[in-house]
Amino acid sequence: MSLNVNTNMVSLLAVQGMSNNNKSLSKTFQRLISGARINNAGDDPSGMSVSTRLASRIRGSNAAIRNAQDAVSVTQVADAAMEETTNALQKMREIMVTAAGPGLSSADRVGLQTEIDGLVSEIQRIATGTTFNGKTLLTGSFSGQQIQIGADGGDYIEIDISALSTGALGVDALDTIDVATVNDAVTVVDTNLTAIDAALSVVTDVRSSLGAVQNRLSSVITGLETLVAATTESRSRIVDTDIASEVAAMTSMQIKQQVGAAILAQANQGPMAILSLLK
């Protein structure tokens, strides 16, 4: 019986198979540890490209949601201030009507005029003191403000808050109530009521317009949140590790490693027997 020592192809194939299996097992471990199916561009070039675009869209949409939420806060702050302005104007109107009554003395009308002056000052204070993040809202500086509400260019909404100072409303120079006679008071009151009603109309129009913007912003936020959820799910299917699949693959490769080691040991037994004879 002769023994030949040639290239041990079975051993070489076993080593090569185990080496390839180790590389695959290493990638499986990486996917399981990181939770990501794509850890570098080489794992899935096209998947990496798509997931990057989706990630950009998600980040842009989340930023737009924050913008829209801030814009809602702006409208809420402005609306609350305009409600106070409306209350002040309505109180002024009530006082004006009272001033034209027959049962008031000159002193009473002087007192009413003082109250009106205070309300005019309050309206001006509201206009100059209503701010959001340092920006004044009711002085006209927030007119035509464009807010980005989407991930793409051109996705914006315009918030237009007109100036609501006493000068803009036309109530900064209401005629002083005449204290001489009720007839004179009626003449002045009639003029002032016209100015106050015009101011109330302006404030009401701005509030109505702002309410429509607020409703639109709420719809935008809901739509963006739905978009982000759907896009995130789509990206997850591309980049996230399928744990069950990877665990199954890991188990299979570990078995292959054990089988490969057994085959390698068996393949090396022949050459080792020859070596033992040469000793």
What is the DSSP-derived secondary structure letter of residue 266?
A: H
pLDDT score, position 1: 43
Do both 171 and 125 map to the same domain? yes
Share of the chain above pLDDT 90, in %: 43
pLDDT tens-digit map of 28-61: 667 766 666 666 767 678 877 888 899 899 999 9
Q: Whole-angstrom distance between the N-terminal and C-terminal Cα of the chain? A: 19
Same domain, 139 and 260: no
Answer yes or no: do 173 and 210 share one domain.
yes
Q: What is the rounded CA–CA span in Å between residue 221 and residue 269?
A: 71
Q: Please give the Cα distance from 126 to 230 (Å, whole number).
A: 43
pLDDT band at residue 71 under the 50/70/90 scheme: very high
Checking if the pLDDT of 6 tops 70, the result is no
User: Tokens representing 90?
Assistant: 């309505």
Which pLDDT score is estimated for 244?
A: 67
Whether 274 shows a pLDDT value over 90: the answer reads no
To the nearest whole number, what is the mean pLDDT of the chain?
82
- 2 falls within a domain: no
Q: CA-to-CA distance for 82 and 238, rounded, in angstroms?
A: 50
pLDDT digits (tens, 9 = 90+) for 222-246: 999 999 999 998 888 887 766 667 6
**Within this chain, do residues 117 and 51 fall inside the same structural domain, yes or no?**
yes
Number of structural domains the chain divides into: 2
**pLDDT value at position 5?**
52
DSSP secondary structure letter of residue 157: E
Does residue 100 sit in the same domain as residue 119? yes
Q: Domain of 255?
A: 9-35+242-273
Q: Is 209 contained in some domain? A: yes
230: domain CATH number is 1.20.1330.10
**146-175 mean pLDDT:** 89
128 and 259 both lie in a single domain = no
Q: Are residues 24 and 104 in the same domain?
A: no
Q: Are residues 164 and 71 located together in one domain of the fold?
A: yes
What is the biggest distance separating any 2 CA atoms in the chain, rounded to whole angstroms? 144
Same domain, 113 and 15: no
Mean pLDDT, range 117-139, rounded to an integer: 94
Same domain as 105, residue 201: yes
Q: Could you tell me if residue 278 is inside a domain?
A: no
